[in-house]
Amino acid sequence: MATIEEVSVMIVSNASQGHINPTLRFAKRLISKGVHVTIVTTQLVRDRMLKYNNVTSTNTNSQNSQNKQIQFEFFSDGLSLDFDREKNTEIFINSMRTTGSKNMSSLITNLAKTRDYYCIIVDPVLLTNIQNLAIQLEIPVAFLWMQPCATFSISYRYFSNINSFPNLDDPNEKVELPGLPLLKVRDFPTYMLPSFPQHNRQIMVDMCQACDNNVKWVLANTIYEWEEECVKSMSNLSPVYTIGPLVSEFILGENEKNNVSMNMWNAEDSCIDWLDNKPNSSVIYIAFGSIIELKQKEVDNIAMALKNSKKSFLWVIKPKLKGYEKDATKLPIGFLEETNGRGLVVTWCQQEKVLSHPALACFMTHCGWNSTVESVSSGVPLIGYPFWLDQPTIAKIIVKEFGNGVTLNFEVNEVPSVEEIERCIKEIMDGPNAKEIKNKAIEMKEIARKALVEGGSSDKSIDQFVKDLVHAHNFARA
């Protein structure tokens, strides 16, 4: 009979920073339970590890935890390292499903010959490439959902035809779903909408079909107490194990040297020194993740609102990749001079450290789930500025339901006005509800901290998942 000490799992991860860092943190938590973890990802991650993380070797065992290590294995997705996957998603997905899939399958098959893997934990983006291979290798599959349970519930109910939905061409149509507040179509993940590219929608269709067939566990980067009603509503459909928040240890008040994360770009260290000279709860932090690219009108309106607010701010504007510099947006003429002393604009920063800094008052975010989880776990109020994918749903379900922030109001395909951005800044920093919002943010932080300590809801979910792996393995070998 197998024991927990013998359990080995393989995690197959997408190469983006928003996926690889939560994967690393989940791997560390599994290791703390005595599980051996192999992370399989593309050579793009290896290249960026070598460039930006002071790593000299990435063959295996690149991260250490409690005398056990994460084993890294890499494959080619069929594209050159300097190919822009974010701008050419269809080419990237097609390459992953052809050349990349063959390379990944060969690597996983070889790994399975050298170790008895109890489970392949896979990113939904790569699920299609894994299903048949996992069946051939007789290894059960789990998938790691990098979004809230709310978006999984909405997506699963829609693509599996569980509930009736309105006309998705009308953004103002309403729908009621179990465990969720009343939603409009404009609040749905944009990958559900008819206008979204079919190759992206197909990923979700495949994922939902897999949940009904091959996938045994859904592991979500969320907390039971954050989404209790939604998690309960999924119990008879596709049960969700809440194993979040997958954030840096020092966000949760633990020792920074135990942190496991990976930078995919060079971060500017000046941010922290600059914040050190600002009063507590005085700085607006503005950042829109590693993928969002602002239009010039959006840059202009944010800049004007920040200038008019008279508040201190730290603004991250990611530079264009090599070859796309001509498309870069520009700050308004005179903006930096007029805000000199109270504003800092950088190309990238260590977001977890910034969010943990006492000088922060609020975070204007695109509502990507990683950024939202990091902010909520840090006790920092949010200004929601959603763009696409899961972001409109997170702005509605999480920011509104949590009560720890405000959301910009603007029409679909429009740009928030200067006045609307100013309204949100004033409301979250000086408005009549500002103290209540801050108190709610602190309350949500405490929930996050408790979830991962021994006996917390997420800690119990991880324990149960590992026990399930042992039980399934013993049953299969009996």
- Cα 155 to Cα 145: distance, rounded to the nearest angstrom: 12
Q: Lowest mean pLDDT of 51-65, 178-192, 215-229, name the range.
A: 51-65
Q: Which of 274, 249, 241, 292 is nearest to 17 (CA)?
A: 292
How would residue 158 be classed by pLDDT, with cut points 50, 70 and 90?
A: very high
Could you tell me the pLDDT band of residue 16, with boundaries at 50, 70 and 90? confident
Strands, E, within 29-107: which ranges? Answer: 36-42, 63-65, 68-75
In the chain, % of residues over pLDDT 90? 65
Give start and end residues of each alpha helix (H) in 56-175. 89-95, 101-114, 127-137, 149-159
Single-letter amino acid code for the residue at 84: D
The SS3 assignment for 119 reads strand
Please count the CA atoms within 13 angstroms of the CA of 288 that sit on its side-chain side. 18
> 267-448: which CATH number, 3.30.420.40, 3.40.50.2000, 3.50.50.60, 3.30.930.10?
3.40.50.2000
* pLDDT for res 112: 95
Query: Is residue 67's pLDDT more than 50?
Result: no
CA dist 431 and 436 (Å) reads 10
Question: What whole-number percentage of the chain has pLDDT above 70?
Answer: 90
What is the pLDDT, as a whole number, of residue 336?
A: 94
How far is residue 210's CA from residue 216's CA, in Å, rounded to a whole number? 9
Contacts of 161 (CB under 8 A, 6+ apart): none
Residues 31, 4: Cα–Cα separation, whole Å? 11
**84-96 pLDDT, tens digit each:** 887 787 888 788 8
**Confidence bin at 55 (pLDDT 50/70/90):** very low
* 443 has pLDDT over 90: yes
Domain boundaries, the chain: 4-250+452-477, 267-448
Domain 4-250+452-477 CATH assignment equals 3.40.920.10: no
pLDDT of residue 367: 95
> 273 and 301 in contact (C-beta within 8 Å)?
no
Q: Is the pLDDT of residue 217 over 90?
A: yes
119-122 and 141-145: which strand pairing?
parallel
* 4-250+452-477 and 267-448 in the same fold: yes
Helices H / strands E in the chain, number of each: 18, 16
Burial bucket for residue 57 (CB in 10 Å: 0-12, 13-18, 19+):
exposed
Per-residue pLDDT reduced to its tens digit, 252-306? 776 555 555 555 555 667 899 999 999 999 999 999 987 888 999 999 999 999 9
Residues 6+ apart with CB under 8 A from 159: 192, 204, 205, 207, 208
* Average pLDDT score over the chain: 88
